[in-house]
Structure 1
Amino acid sequence: MKKSELSENQNPEPVKGKNKTNNRKRLPASLRAFVSLSVCAATVLTVSGGLKIADSLNKQNRVYAAADSTGSSIYEGANYDLPSGIAGVASGVSGTPSAGMTINRIGTSCEDVIVGQRVQKITSQAVEMNVSESMATTIDDFDSKVVSSAKMMSDEDYQNLLQIVEAEAGTEDIKGRIMVANVIMNRVKYSEFPDNVTDVIWEYDNGVAQFSPVEDGRISEVTVSQETKDAVRQVLEGTDYSQGALFFIQKSAAARDNISWFDKNLKKLFKHGVHEFYTYPDEVLAAH
Structure 2
Amino acid sequence: MRKTRLTGTHNDKDKSGREHNSSFHSFVSLSVCALTVIAVTGGCKLAGAEKHKVYAASENESSSLYSEDVDYGLPSGIAGVVSGVNATPAAGSTVNRIGISCDDVIVGQRVRKVTSSAVEMNVSESMATTVDTFDAKVVSASSSAKLMSDEDYENLLQIVEAEAGTEDLKGRILVANVIMNRVKYPEFPDNATDVIWQYIDGVAQFSPIADGRISEVVPSDETKEAVKQALEGVDYSDGALFFIQRSAAAKNNIQWFDKNLKKLFKHGVHEFYTYPEAAQQ
Alignment TM class, shorter chain as reference: 0.3 to 0.5
TM-score (norm 1): 0.47
Q: Which is higher, the Rg of structure 1 or of structure 2?
A: 1
* Higher helix fraction (1 or 2): 2
